Chain A
Amino acid sequence: MSTGDMLKTGISGLQVFRRTLSTIGHNISNVNTDGYSRQVVDLASRYPTPSGDGFIGNGVRSVTTKRLFDEHAAEQVRSRTTTSEFFAEYFEFSSQVDNLVADPDAGLTPAIEEFFDSLQEIADDPTSIPARNVMITNAETLVARFDTMDSWFSDLQGAVNDKIVNEVTVVNQLANSIASLNNDIIVAVGIGGNQPPNDLLDKRDHLIDELSKHLNVSLNENRNGTVNVYVGNGQSLVLSTRAMQLAAQRNPEDPTNFEIAYYDPSSGTSSSISDMLSGGDLGGVLAFREEVLMPSINHLGRLAIGIATEFNTQHNKGLDLTNNLGGDFFNVPYLPSWTVGDPPVAELHATESINNTGGDTIAVRLNDIKNLTTDEYELTYDGANYVLRNLETNQLDTLVVASGPIPTRFNTIYGMDIELSDTPDVNDTFFLRPNRQGARDISVAITDPNLIATAHPLRTGMDISSNSGFGTISEATINDYANPDLMNSVTITFRNSLGLAAPALADVIDFNGVGVGLPALAVPYVPGATHSYNGWDIVLDGAPEDNDVFLLEANINGVSDNRNVLALADLQTAGTMIGGNASFHDAYSDMVVLVGNLTHQADLSYEAQSALLSQAVTLKDNLSGVNLDEEAANLLTYQQAYAAAAQVIAAADEIFQTLLNAVRR
């Protein structure tokens, strides 16, 4: 063995250990770098020199510098990042709604309570104009509260849209960066002679991790070290060095909401992939919109329509201080139930798809509040049937045509009377959003306190001066407010059998007045029987005497009558909503519980997922993370090895000097 060999061996150690030490330095420097994977130098002994008496070792060499990275662990981190970001984003948006709905100042409950309280105040003192003004003010407050909440929801809708736009921009940038890093990796591998470009790989994998915060991704690694990234249902976002682009755009069928479109380069078409995206910020914000925001808007809208419609219906039944039947108290987009022969009406509570070829319009009348759902629907004509699809539950119903075709009207379904202006073209589609605008569409119609209909339209009584019997007349109940003769006075005279000529043997009553079927004479008297004329029902009972007279007349100047305002106040607790089992308050409570539950779930899921994420990161770092203590120990080890290798060189030098000295002599 030559001294030169020994030098070479020593130098190999020096070179390799310096390289190792610099890798340790690299590790230490990157201890806080996101996505950095610990690197190690793989060492191997150099090829030995053969000799007659065996192989002589030639020192050490570095095979490669590799990063400690486990794709499986990385995949776990990515998928849990996606899920945890999903819930984080969901919770962040949802908790905003959550905080609003039950707020004693901003929530709806206090406004509803105060409105109905003011009705009770009027019931206490119907002649009081101040009490009436308070009620109108409270109604305006209620409407304003609906409007505030609705506009606040609209703002959230805008925030969701902004978020989508931002997210799409970020996703596109990340896709571009990943594609360009893929390119760098191909180049680096070429230059480095197939050695792995560790830092570039880390950087790219880190970008993919970042991408997974925004949406759910799946990967496919190519043989040249590049990866393909897929989103949604397998739409490719990055194909090796090529990046595709997502776009945020208004949903043409629902322009208030943005959706995410994907441009497919192979087919050259652009299509919405919002429904296919899951996970990440983007998935979270989309799910929040679908599960919390839009249902909240619809809940609020249904409640507004419900209160306004039910209140109007009862208000129309009362008599105001100007002795007229009550008008509408609230303005609400409303059409009475259609009757045969009604002309078609303009678009209401629904829109036509932009793809329709038939050009027919749709209108929805909401008369059956208690069966109204908070869902939105899609109506499609398949050439034979009209199919209604619930966009929440996907429940399908075939509509029953009631009359048509101009306009085509259907039997009431889910509280909706649907009407198409004509038979549409095959596959024409309509979107029914009965509650979407409700909260912002209502307003108070009455400003004059005298127009609050507090009294019952009719009063009954008897002729005090002539009656000698013990007959009674009930209050009139009204079965047909539209009857033109409703308010006509009717005189009811009892005639007993004794005073009648044969063959009449029974007691009879005469109804004298103007109206359909009037005058009605010699109607048999049955105590407790109901008599109906002119749209009212009354009950005559007891033992009247011959020629006793009872009266039914319009409740003119009945200013102290609170019967209708009591009926209005009773609406507060009446089962008018959700199948007739829920009050207005219950319907609102329903929404509070819905939002509360979803937010609560999102919060719990977020906590669970971040714990899982933490575990996954720990697992990944178990292999890939830098531990400074470990690096310090390695530093010492290789420093010592380096010193030892230097000693080998010194020894070789000494041997050489010894030889030289011997020769010089």
Chain B
Amino acid sequence: MRISTSMLTKISLDAMLNQQAALSNTQLQVTTGQRIISPSDDPYGSSRSLDLQESISLNEQYQVNAGYAKNRLNLEESSLTGVGNAIQRVRELMVVANNDSQTPESRGFIREEINQLLDQVLALSNSTDSNGEYIFAGYQGKTKPFAVDGAGNYSYFGDKGSRLLKMSSSTSVAMGDSGEGTFLTIKNGNGTFQTRDHTTNTGTAIVDPGTVYGTYVPDNYQVKFIPPATGDLRDPLEYYVLDGQGDVIVPAAYVGSAEGAYLTDVQNRVPASAGVQYQEGAVIQGLDTLGIKISIAGKPAISTTPVLSETSMWPVANGPYPALTGGDGFDINPSKFQSLFATVKSFSDTLASNQGSETELTKFHNSVNRSLIDLDQAMGRVLDVRSRIGARLNTVDKQIEINESFSLQMNETLSSIQDLDYAEAITRMNLQLTGLQAAQNAYTKIQDLSLFNYI
């Protein structure tokens, strides 16, 4: 086959140019360290590396979010630690104040400390973060959430919102708790019902907060005391229980009967009218089917007009009792929401109440007992929230680790897709250099070959 001289030149030249082009591409790869210089080098790989870069960037943002959440949760945790300590101190003071050895003066000192603690809790509940955002205000972070008016009423201006932060495409964490959930929506009493002495009580009976026994049937119940059916006031007093409709539900024989009818029966000593005999400190009977277990200790007062004397007798033969005008009573109401502030404030008010007479002291004790159980509820809530914060911080830490390892993996994958294998590239470059040199050598050799040199 004939080869034209120009073709011979062109072939060698093309070989050199191709080697140079390949070499320049390899050189670009080596200097940038990238296998893919432009998408056409590996369209699928470059799309994949774009995807990975986006995931990595998103992941970095998730780490920033997680860091932010951590800061906020730590801040909240430290505020709530302060609140918890204050509650603990209030509780100690309650126990001290409840002791009969205390005098009205010493209780006044306790009250001063309580008020200071209350201010402290208020300040903590109005905590702000470094940006001046109130951390317990719900969504209304620029509105001071808690305020007290001149009458000592505490108000909340926030809401129940708490914002979520994304820590991964599928994980979010609440970066706080609202003041509503933390300080306000706390059930009073034992969390299900609250026992409360009637304000008109004149005896020395003290009610305990009670416990839930079985299924609680919510209603506003009352336990009321009446004289014994025997007419002998040396016998134990008796009591009956009303439901919210004013029907007598204990003793069982009277279920559904209105209180007025029952009292008339008691007064007239109709045989079935006997109440339940009161034993000091014993469980009030007939309430177990309602899920309520309470006991009353001390001496309740009964009242009649004219007043019955404890030492005198009112024999059955004397006929009806004097008119029954309502003895001591106790309410058993479903628990309601009561804020931490209201609980402490109520205790503070109790400390300021008169404690001169037995009756007043009994009221005082009943009130302090109520405050104690209410405060325990508040303490429980603060502990709940703190443990939730702990759990969240835990989640955040775990997620940060997961994100880190995810990021590492993705960077590795990205690297395997777009980064250059230097060993391979350098070898290739050497090979190409050798090829180019060979092509150049061949070119000059071939150019030297001409028959004309020999003519």
Give B38-71 as 1s and 0s: 1 = Cβ < 8 Å from A's Cβ atoms: 1111111011001101100110111011001100
Question: Are the CB atoms of B39 and A98 closer together than 8 Å?
Answer: yes
Contacts of A70 on B, CB cut-off 8 Å?
none
Interface residues of A in 528-569 (CB under 8 A from B): 545, 555, 557-563, 566, 569
Give B161-187 as 1s and 0s: 1 = Cβ < 8 Å from A's Cβ atoms: 101111001000001000010001100
Residue among A614, A617, A629 making CB contact with B450, cutoff 8 Å = A629
Instruction: Tell which of A359-367, A591-599, A656-664 binds the partner.
Output: A591-599
Extra contacts, 15 of them, besides A109-B54, A461-B160 (Cβ < 8 A), are A99-B38, A112-B54, A116-B58, A117-B61, A460-B160, A468-B336, A545-B218, A557-B143, A560-B134, A618-B3, A621-B3, A622-B4, A625-B2, A627-B2, A628-B452
Decide yes or no whether A585 CB sits under 8 A from chain B. Answer: yes
Contacts of A98 on B, CB cut-off 8 Å?
38-40
**Which of A128, A464, A593: most chain B CB closer than 10 A?**
A464
Residue among A109, A545, A622 making CB contact with B53, cutoff 8 Å = A109
Q: How many A-B residue pairs have CB under 8 A?
A: 211
Contacts of B450 on A, CB cut-off 8 Å?
628-629, 632
Question: Are the CB atoms of A592 and B2 closer together than 8 Å?
Answer: no
Instruction: Tell which of A118-126, A379-387, A389-397 binds the partner.
Output: A118-126
Decide yes or no whether B6 CB sits under 8 A from chain A. Answer: yes
Return A420 CB to nearest CB of chain B, in Å. 39
Question: Are the CB atoms of B47 and A566 closer together than 8 Å?
Answer: no
Give B125-161 as 1s and 0s: 1 = Cβ < 8 Å from A's Cβ atoms: 0000001111001111111000000000000100111
Contacts of A599 on B, CB cut-off 8 Å?
38-40
Contacts of B1 on A, CB cut-off 8 Å?
622
- How far is B218's CA from A586's CA once the two chains are assembled, in angstroms? 57
Decide yes or no whether A603 CB sits under 8 A from chain B. Answer: yes
Decide yes or no whether A572 CB sits under 8 A from chain B. Answer: yes
Interface residues of A in 450-469 (CB under 8 A from B): 455, 459-462, 464-469
Return B131 CB to nearest CB of chain A, in Å. 6
Once A573-B169, A585-B54, A593-B47 are accepted as A-B contacts, the answer to whether A557 and B142 lie under 8 Å apart by CB is yes
Question: Are the CB atoms of B138 and A560 closer together than 8 Å?
Answer: yes
Decide yes or no whether A630 CB sits under 8 A from chain B. Answer: yes
Question: Are the CB atoms of A618 and B7 closer together than 8 Å?
Answer: yes
Cβ contacts A to B, 16 pairs, < 8 Å: A31-B6, A98-B39, A102-B39, A109-B50, A117-B61, A120-B64, A126-B141, A464-B185, A557-B140, A562-B165, A569-B166, A592-B47, A596-B41, A596-B43, A621-B2, A629-B449
Q: Which residue of B lies closest to A592 (CB)?
A: B39
Contacts of A630 on B, CB cut-off 8 Å?
2
Decide yes or no whether A137 CB sits under 8 A from chain B. Answer: no
- How far is B42's CA from A592's CA once the two chains are assembled, in angstroms? 11
Question: Are the CB atoms of B336 and A596 closer together than 8 Å?
Answer: no
Question: Are the CB atoms of B4 and A626 closer together than 8 Å?
Answer: yes
Once A545-B334, A627-B3, A629-B451 are accepted as A-B contacts, the answer to whether A589 and B50 lie under 8 Å apart by CB is yes
Interface residues of B in 320-372 (CB under 8 A from A): 334-337, 339
Question: Are the CB atoms of A465 and B64 closer together than 8 Å?
Answer: no
Residue among A455, A465, A585 making CB contact with B139, cutoff 8 Å = A455
B-to-A contact residues, CB < 8 Å: 1-7, 10-11, 14, 38-44, 46-47, 50-51, 53-54, 57-58, 60-62, 64-65, 68-69, 131-134, 137-143, 156, 159-161, 163-166, 169, 175, 180, 184-185, 218, 334-337, 339, 449-452, 455
Once A621-B6, A625-B7, A632-B451 are accepted as A-B contacts, the answer to whether A127 and B159 lie under 8 Å apart by CB is no
- How far is B143's CA from A622's CA once the two chains are assembled, in angstroms? 92
Question: Are the CB atoms of A588 and B6 closer together than 8 Å?
Answer: no
- How far is B337's CA from A628's CA once the two chains are assembled, in angstroms? 110
Contacts of A573 on B, CB cut-off 8 Å?
58, 169
Question: Are the CB atoms of A600 and B41 closer together than 8 Å?
Answer: yes
Q: Which residue of A lies closest to B176 (CB)?
A: A560
Question: Are the CB atoms of A31 and B5 closer together than 8 Å?
Answer: yes
Return B4 CB to nearest CB of chain A, in Å. 2
Decide yes or no whether A143 CB sits under 8 A from chain B. Answer: no
- How far is B58's CA from A596's CA once the two chains are assembled, in angstroms? 25
Decide yes or no whether A154 CB sits under 8 A from chain B. Answer: no
Once A562-B163, A621-B3, A632-B450 are accepted as A-B contacts, the answer to whether A127 and B131 lie under 8 Å apart by CB is yes
- How far is B180's CA from A88's CA once the two chains are assembled, in angstroms? 71
Question: Are the CB atoms of A120 and B61 closer together than 8 Å?
Answer: yes
Decide yes or no whether A260 CB sits under 8 A from chain B. Answer: no
Return B141 CB to nearest CB of chain A, in Å. 3
Question: Are the CB atoms of B163 and A560 closer together than 8 Å?
Answer: yes
Give A120-154 as 1s and 0s: 1 = Cβ < 8 Å from B's Cβ atoms: 11011111100000000000000000000000000
Contacts of A600 on B, CB cut-off 8 Å?
40-43
Residue among A113, A589, A592, A595 making CB contact with B57, cutoff 8 Å = A113
Q: Which residue of A lies closest to B334 (CB)?
A: A468
- How far is B162's CA from A561's CA once the two chains are assembled, in angstroms? 7
Return A628 CB to nearest CB of chain B, in Å. 5
Once A113-B58, A125-B131, A599-B39 are accepted as A-B contacts, the answer to whether A459 and B161 lie under 8 Å apart by CB is yes
Contacts of A245 on B, CB cut-off 8 Å?
none
**Which of B44, B64, B141: most chain A CB closer than 10 A?**
B141
